[in-house]
Amino acid sequence: MVVLAAVFVCAACGLVYELSLVTLGSYLLGNTVTQTSLVLAVTMFAMGVGAVAAKPLLGHPLRAFVGVELALAVVGGFSVPALYAAFAWLSLYTPAMVVASFAIGLLVGAEIPLLMALLQHLRRQDAAHAVADINAVDYVGALVGGLAFPFLLLPLLGLLEGALATAALNVAAAAVVALALGRRARTRTPVLVAVSACVVTALALGLMAWRASAFEATAQQALYRDPIVHSERSAYQSIVVTRGWFQGAEFDDVRLYLDGDLQFSSVDEYRYHEMLVHPAMAGPHARVLVLGGGDGLALREVLGYDDVEEVTLVDLDPAVVDLARSYEPIRDLNDDAWADPRVTYEAADAFSWARDAVDDGQEYDVVVVDYPDPDSPALAKLYSREHYATLRSLLAPDARMVVQSGSPFFAPDAFWCVRRTLADAGFATTPYHADVPSFGDWGWVLARPDDAGAPTLDLAAGAPRTRYASPAVLDASAVFPPDMADRSGDVSTLLDPAILRYSEHAWVGY
């Protein structure tokens, strides 16, 4: 029973380590598909290598198992802080992740042959029956580890401390097996050595857990230019606010980052949000739908129109909205927009919410689409033909929709893919762009149903005062120089997210 219990613990821990590496990669780099594929492929290959490498150790399975477990506790437990450090200070994340995945897979692969040998030493039995017992327990352990990671370890301990807690289970497995089976040895020395090694490893893990918060804060700060003044991890993403004070200047720079991607800088965010919102408000605008933009800055621009009757804002992460409502520097930027009684907030995935809204017969005069850049499959679906077709069904007669579309200079293929996809979904479009210093040259696509013709870039009569957007600026924004001219390519769909491919090849060299 001791050996089978060890099999259970080892399987659960091994899967947690793999999931930890996948999750860390998605936090830091955002591309879940690539990270998952790399981690699983390298780990599975290394497990095969580890199984073969364990053959010379089968003559002393107890000693070898304890050594492998302690090595796995160190490698697996310290893999998350080590990779975070590699990303923050060395810019070597992917090579380090491959090495960590291989090392974890190598050690996990050695566990089963050693446990099999231990089981045979304890009770001689048919090899097929022994393999069946071990595999059954192994798969159940993997199930428990896979479920414990998202529902227990991650929410209660976080990624870093969760990996360390998992490593403690490896140490415990090594200690229990050593104590339970070591009595068969001729001397107590091997048991004492094994238990002492377990104690030392446990102390090292405990020390790292004690310093985990300080380490994470130091490593996180290394990723940002300005001091971090707020940091949290919501159920969906990392939320970081930095604030830089400029000596001798009359302003400071408040910046919001989601999963490391800049969302706005207080120095120039008005340029982005004025250009996003005001061209779409040139027609009817009694009922407005804002998709994304939980920071409330697009909301601020919409609410500047006194004749707006109601605004519905859909954003997946309530933590961002709570921050924009309560954190004074951001609340000051959005003019306390969330306190306006005309605003209704829906905490939902915009893709699913829009489909339900169509079924409910909802219609809007203006739709402002302010999604993050499509650098993951979860975001790419929000730039698909299917989603745009759904949004088209939400538009009232003479309605307008605007879509933030990225940079036509740094990511031209992705930018023009948005326009092509909107056209394929039944929209007449007008692309435009402007200089937002924090982002560079940035672009949007204004759209309305194709039977109404391409929308013009205008400001509404009685539009609120703007600091950047003006009739002359809007006229100029529709002009694209030759190096940013429209180009051919694919339409992005749910099953073929072309925009994700285009985004992955953008920003090269920048």
Q: Which residues are catalytic?
A: 370
Three-state DSSP string of 424-477:
HCCEEEEEEEEEECCCEEEEEEEEEEHHHCCCCCCCCCCCCCCCCCCHHHHHHH
Burial class (CB in 10 A: 0-12, 13-18, 19+), 176: middle
Q: Is 208 left (phi over 0), alpha (psi -120 to 50) or beta?
A: alpha
Query: What does the alpha-carbon distance between residue 506 and residue 289 come to, in Å, rounded to a whole number?
Result: 29
Name the token pair of 104. 């974890």
CA-nearest of 237, 242, 261 to 253 is 242
What is the chain's alpha carbon radius of gyration, rounded to the nearest angstrom?
28
Backbone φ and ψ of 488, nearest 5°: -80, 165
Burial class (CB in 10 A: 0-12, 13-18, 19+), 424: middle
Name the token pair of 167. 């490593």
Look up residue 83 and give its amino acid.
L
- The secondary structure of residue 409, as a DSSP letter, is T
Query: What residue has token string 């579309």?
Result: 405
- Give the residues across from 368 on adjacent strands: 290, 402
Order of strands across the sheet with 440-449?
Answer: 343-347, 310-315, 287-292, 364-370, 395-406, 440-449, 427-436
Q: Is 490 left (phi over 0), alpha (psi -120 to 50) or beta?
A: beta
Query: What does the alpha-carbon distance between residue 387 and residue 405 come to, in Å, rounded to a whole number?
Result: 15
Q: Largest Cα–Cα distance in the chain?
A: 94
Name the token pair of 157. 């301990």
